[in-house]
């Protein structure tokens, strides 16, 4: 039976690295009776936290890929998406964010709002995800949740309101005062698992009342009844307050703040109540799909089981029994045995096993309704694919996939590693459309391509750990392109008439640069000077020259070839002759058309304390970067710039050392643009050297 949508919550837990996000998730699983023992992230028992199933994660104590798990809290059904916290895996974070309806923003009570919290918060804002904040680690020395609440206001511009007051901080942290019910909550039962309600300690009474006033003032904007009751100075029922908090949170105009220490099992249960009371159910959120029949126009989906199903595959995992595909159902129901259609691969498939996941364990189910997050078994697909009822043409994500900009040669250490490597590559390319692989014909090397240095490093590492494939890697190569900068006419005759069957073909026309698109072929041949059957041969010949440009051997883009004249010989002309003529004509014209080298330019965003901004500006300037702008708010600054990818190798180390490790950066591909002449000359020289040595 499909579940009651109003009782469903799809939440994510987002945080800066090391804020205790995985620990919190672990406690949530525990309190919802899903696991029987608590394992620490860096535990001595060697089991590792339940959510961190990848070996690599256990070793590093960080969570890289997001896993989904389902828990019950009271009568609420919660799907938790564990999102990666590290800055270099923001693509994973964003993919996970798409399927969430609400989030818990975890902050460290000592470190407060850190740079990654800002990034995560920005992503939450971009996807309009309502959130509650949890100030963790209140038992640590230097804990100050009030300061964190202020930072939420100042740095993240959130309307943060404390919903609780701590009972003791640092080593004296015992529990919290609930400002809605005005009760003290202690977590001191058997290993702190039970919540003990008591009267507010007398020394906290005044503070609690003061903070309650502040809270109610902030809430009064969201509920008229609450405002009236406040003016009458009447008692305010708990439901009225909860209604106001929920409205403010869902409208993204309020961020309720909760406290505790996940590690010490304090404050987790009230946080779960907050998830139930204040975070949205799937029908509270508007989700949109793109109509592929209508230029990717937005279509609103309804979380209604009666409608045709639309689901997004947001995560693939290799399980013991084959490939597991996590899906979020946005509309309609998915039933075991029913048929779905994959928009990307344009293939129908049958839903075999349907399971609900609890981290590494699973439960078989027969159907799942709108709003739910479940997993499918043995489906041939890639991450980000949209599944719909046959006949629909909707996609949850844009079909645009950026071209990889960096490549690396990899070589297995031995025969055994070779098979494993192939298996791993097959898997990764399915998971991530921006990760590609091919075998270079010339060197017979396997090349992997991706969106950045770290992107590839992670896959190399995963290959080793998950598949036991040891590989050696070459130096990273930037995916340059070649293009022409002016138009030229060409006229080339290919003639070979020395013994045997001869070859003869002449092609003439124009080669022009093109702003958009990679290649275009136009035939203006009149009067059959080139017979119709040989015109495709010319096209083919030109195309065969595109693969490797004469400057540095990289692909040529943005060329329009027009043929308008030619000549043939009744006996000696052939398909082959015209192809050869076209290719040679292209090569000859290419060198006259002022060829240039294009390089990938990355959009780089660096965040760090203002006192280091000079160093940040300098580091970008030294890398041929163009600073687009900077934004300074409080003590933090964000610098946005465009920097050539080839200059970004090793940037993380440089940045870290010049800012005492306090700055972080993200980058994404922006565009291709012309390489400055001096560097272009060097590249050409290096290419010629390499060819000479062959």
Partner 1 sequence: MVKEELTKNSPLRILEKATHGGLGKGNIAVIASRRGIGKTACLVHIATDKLMRDKHVIHVSFSSRTDHILDWYEDIFREISQKRDLENAMEVHDELVKNRVIMNFNQDGVSMDQVLNSVKAMIENGQKGTDAIVVDGYDFTKNNDGNVIAKVKNFAKEMDLEIWFTDSYEGEVVQEGAIPSNLKCCEENLSVIMVLKNEGDVMNLNLVKDHGNEIKEDLSLILDSKTLLIARK
101 annotated as a binding-site residue: no
Q: Which is nearer to partner 1, 189 or 676 (CB)?
A: 676
For 494, half-sphere exposure in the C-beta direction (CA atoms, 13 angstrom radius) is 25
Q: Which of 388, 405, 637, 645 binds partner 1 (CB under 8 A)?
A: 637
Q: Which of 191, 380, 632, 681 binds partner 1 (CB under 8 A)?
A: 632
136 annotated as a binding-site residue: yes
Structure tokens at 371: 């709003």
Q: Which of 627, 654, 670, 679 binds partner 1 (CB under 8 A)?
A: 627
Structure tokens at 191: 């290993």
* E strand segments, 307-457: 310-319, 322-331, 334-335, 339-342, 347-350, 354-358, 361-365, 367-368, 373-377, 386-388, 394-395, 406-412, 436-439, 446-450
Helices 238-250 & 224-231, crossing angle to 10 degrees? 130
How deeply is 493 buried, as exposed, middle or buried, from its count of CB atoms within 10 A (0-12, 13-18, 19+)? middle
| Chain Cα centroid distance, residue 608 | 22
CA distance 139 to 144: 10
Stretch binding partner 1 (CB under 8 A), from 13-21, 144-152, 396-404, 632-640: 632-640
Stretch binding partner 1 (CB under 8 A), from 58-66, 399-407, 473-481, 611-619: 611-619
Q: Which is nearer to partner 1, 399 or 626 (CB)?
A: 626
Stretch binding partner 1 (CB under 8 A), from 281-289, 347-355, 411-419, 625-633: 625-633
CA distance 92 to 131: 19
Q: 406 and 476 in contact (C-beta within 8 Å)?
A: yes
67 annotated as a binding-site residue: no
Residues 126-145 interacting with partner 1 (rule: CB under 8 A): none
Q: Which is nearer to partner 1, 2 or 655 (CB)?
A: 655
Shortest separation between residue 445's beta carbon and partner 1, angstroms: 36
19 annotated as a binding-site residue: yes
Q: Which is nearer to partner 1, 159 or 477 (CB)?
A: 159
Query: Which residues neighbour 37 within 8 Å (Cβ) at sequence distance 6 or greater?
Result: none
Q: Which of 414, 629, 691, 693 binds partner 1 (CB under 8 A)?
A: 629
> How many residues are given for the chain?
694
139 annotated as a binding-site residue: yes
Stretch binding partner 1 (CB under 8 A), from 108-116, 243-251, 452-460, 627-635: 627-635
CB atoms within 10 A of CB 295: 7
217 annotated as a binding-site residue: no
Q: What are phi and psi of 667, to 5 degrees?
A: -145, 150
Residue 640 binds partner 1 (CB under 8 A): yes
Residue 631 binds partner 1 (CB under 8 A): yes
Q: Which of 380, 633, 681, 682 binds partner 1 (CB under 8 A)?
A: 633
Residue 668 binds partner 1 (CB under 8 A): no
Residues 150-179 interacting with partner 1 (rule: CB under 8 A): 154
Pick from 567, 499, 501, 570: which is nearest to 530 by CA? 567
Residue 486 binds partner 1 (CB under 8 A): no
DSSP label at residue 142:
T
Q: 549 and 482 in contact (C-beta within 8 Å)?
A: yes
Q: Which is nearer to partner 1, 220 or 615 (CB)?
A: 615
342 annotated as a binding-site residue: no
Shortest separation between residue 627's beta carbon and partner 1, angstroms: 5
Residue 614 binds partner 1 (CB under 8 A): yes
Q: Which of 352, 618, 650, 661 binds partner 1 (CB under 8 A)?
A: 618
Shortest separation between residue 251's beta carbon and partner 1, angstroms: 22
Shortest separation between residue 532's beta carbon and partner 1, angstroms: 38
211 annotated as a binding-site residue: no
Q: What are phi and psi of 678, to 5 degrees?
A: -60, -40
Residue 621 binds partner 1 (CB under 8 A): yes
575 annotated as a binding-site residue: no
Give exposure, 319-349, as e/b (b: 16+ Cβ within 10 Å). beeebbbbbbbbbbbbbbeeebbbbbeeeeb
Stretch binding partner 1 (CB under 8 A), from 105-113, 226-234, 333-341, 617-625: 617-625
Query: Which residues neighbour 205 within 8 Å (Cβ) at sequence distance 6 or greater?
Result: none
Q: Which is nearer to partner 1, 154 or 302 (CB)?
A: 154
CA distance 101 to 301: 14
Q: Which is nearer to partner 1, 240 or 679 (CB)?
A: 679
What are the distances in angstroms from CA 326 to CA 378, 381, 416, 419, 427? 11, 11, 31, 27, 15
Shortest separation between residue 622's beta carbon and partner 1, angstroms: 9
CA distance 614 to 129: 34
Shortest separation between residue 75's beta carbon and partner 1, angstroms: 43
Residue 479 binds partner 1 (CB under 8 A): no
Q: Which is nearer to partner 1, 562 or 615 (CB)?
A: 615
Cα angle for residues 606, 607, 612 (degrees, 5° grid): 95
350 annotated as a binding-site residue: no
329 annotated as a binding-site residue: no
Q: Which of 127, 186, 519, 617 binds partner 1 (CB under 8 A)?
A: 617
CA torsion, ordered 411, 414, 416, 417, to nearest 10 deg: -30
Residues 176-205 interacting with partner 1 (rule: CB under 8 A): none
Stretch binding partner 1 (CB under 8 A), from 131-139, 334-342, 361-369, 607-615: 607-615
CA distance 353 to 364: 7
For 63, half-sphere exposure in the C-beta direction (CA atoms, 13 angstrom radius) is 34
For 552, half-sphere exposure in the C-beta direction (CA atoms, 13 angstrom radius) is 22
CA distance 19 to 136: 7
Shortest separation between residue 531's beta carbon and partner 1, angstroms: 41
Q: Which is nearer to partner 1, 31 or 669 (CB)?
A: 669
Cα angle for residues 633, 245, 278 (degrees, 5° grid): 100
CA distance 594 to 485: 5
| Structural element, H or E, at residue 523 | strand 519-523
Residue 634 binds partner 1 (CB under 8 A): yes
85 annotated as a binding-site residue: yes
Q: Which of 6, 206, 571, 626 binds partner 1 (CB under 8 A)?
A: 626
Stretch binding partner 1 (CB under 8 A), from 77-85, 280-288, 565-573, 633-641: 633-641
Residues 30-59 interacting with partner 1 (rule: CB under 8 A): none
Q: Which is nearer to partner 1, 156 or 229 (CB)?
A: 156
Q: Which of 29, 620, 648, 663 binds partner 1 (CB under 8 A)?
A: 620
* Residues of the binding site for GTP: 15-22, 82-86, 136-139
Q: Which residues bind partner 1 (CB under 8 A)?
A: 154, 610, 613-615, 617-618, 620-621, 626-634, 637, 640, 673
Residues within the annotated binding site? 15-22, 82-86, 136-139
């Amino acid at each position: 039976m499909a579940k009651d949508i109003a009782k469903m919550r799809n939440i994510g837990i987002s945080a800066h690295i090391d804020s205790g996000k995985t620990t919190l998730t672990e406690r949530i699983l525990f309190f919802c009776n899903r696991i029987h023992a608590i394992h620490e992230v860096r535990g001595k028992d060697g089991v590792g936290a339940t959510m961190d199933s990848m070996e690599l994660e256990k070793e590093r104590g960080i969570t890289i890929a997001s896993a989904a798990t389902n828990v019950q809290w009271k009568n609420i059904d919660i799907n938790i998406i564990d999102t990666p916290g590290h800055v270099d895996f923001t693509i994973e974070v964003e993919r996970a964010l798409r399927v969430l309806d609400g989030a818990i923003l975890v902050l460290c009570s000592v470190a407060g709002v850190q740079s990654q919290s800002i990034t995560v918060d920005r992503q939450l804002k971009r996807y309009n995800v309502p959130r509650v904040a949890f100030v963790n680690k209140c038992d640590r020395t230097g804990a100050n949740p009030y300061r964190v609440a202020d930072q939420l206001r100042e740095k993240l511009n959130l309307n943060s309101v404390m919903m609780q007051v701590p009972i003791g901080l640092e080593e004296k942290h015992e529990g919290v005062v609930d400002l809605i019910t005005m009760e003290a909550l202690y977590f001191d039962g058997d290993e702190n698992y039970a919540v003990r309600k008591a009267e507010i300690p007398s020394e906290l009474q005044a503070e609690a009342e003061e903070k309650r006033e502040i809270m109610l003032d902030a809430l009064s904007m969201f509920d008229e009844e609450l405002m009236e009751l406040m003016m009458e100075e009447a008692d305010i029922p708990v439901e009225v307050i909860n209604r106001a908090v929920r409205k403010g949170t869902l409208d993204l105009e309020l961020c309720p703040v909760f406290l505790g220490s996940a590690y010490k099992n304090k404050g987790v249960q009230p946080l779960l109540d907050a998830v139930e009371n204040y975070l949205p159910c799937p029908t509270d959120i508007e989700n949109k799909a793109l109509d592929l029949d209508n230029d990717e126009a937005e279509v609103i989906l309804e979380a209604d089981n009666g409608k045709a199903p639309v689901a997004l595959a947001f995560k693939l995992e290799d399980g013991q029994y084959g490939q597991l595909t996590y899906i979020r159902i946005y509309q309609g129901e998915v039933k075991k045995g029913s048929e779905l259609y994959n928009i990307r691969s344009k293939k129908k498939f049958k839903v075999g096993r349907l399971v609900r996941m609890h981290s590494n364990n699973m439960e078989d189910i027969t159907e799942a309704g709108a709003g739910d997050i479940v997993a499918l078994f043995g489906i041939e697909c890639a991450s980000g694919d949209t599944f719909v009822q046959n006949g629909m043409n909707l996609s949850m994500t844009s079909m645009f996939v950026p071209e990889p900009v960096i490549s690396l040669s990899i070589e297995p250490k031995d025969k055994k590693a070779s098979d494993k490597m192939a298996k791993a590559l097959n898997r990764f390319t399915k998971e991530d459309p921006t990760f590609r692989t091919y075998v270079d014909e010339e060197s017979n090397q396997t090349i992997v391509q991706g969106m950045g240095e770290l992107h590839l490093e992670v896959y190399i590492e995963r290959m080793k750990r998950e598949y036991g494939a040891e590989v050696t890697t070459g130096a990273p190569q930037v995916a340059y392109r070649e293009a022409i900068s002016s138009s030229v006419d060409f006229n080339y005759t290919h003639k070979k008439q020395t013994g045997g069957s001869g070859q003869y073909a002449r092609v003439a026309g124009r080669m022009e640069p093109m702003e958009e698109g990679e290649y275009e072929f136009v035939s203006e041949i009149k009067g059959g000077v080139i017979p119709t059957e040989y015109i495709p041969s010319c096209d083919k010949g030109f195309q065969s020259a595109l693969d490797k440009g004469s400057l540095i051997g990289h692909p040529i883009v943005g060329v329009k070839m027009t043929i308008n004249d030619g000549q043939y010989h009744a006996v000696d002309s052939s398909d082959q002759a015209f192809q050869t003529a076209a290719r040679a004509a292209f090569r000859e014209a290419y060198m006259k058309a002022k060829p240039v080298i294009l390089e990938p330019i990355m959009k780089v965003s660096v965040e760090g304390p203002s006192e280091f901004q000079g160093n940040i500006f300098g580091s970008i300037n030294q890398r041929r970067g163009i600073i687009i702008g900077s934004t300074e708010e409080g003590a933090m600054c964000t610098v946005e710039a465009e920097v050539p990818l080839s200059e970004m190798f090793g940037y993380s180390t440089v940045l870290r050392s010049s800012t005492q490790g306090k700055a972080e950066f993200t980058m994404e591909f922006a565009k291709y643009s012309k390489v400055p002449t001096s560097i272009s000359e060097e590249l050409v020289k290096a290419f010629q050297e390499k060819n000479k040595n062959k």
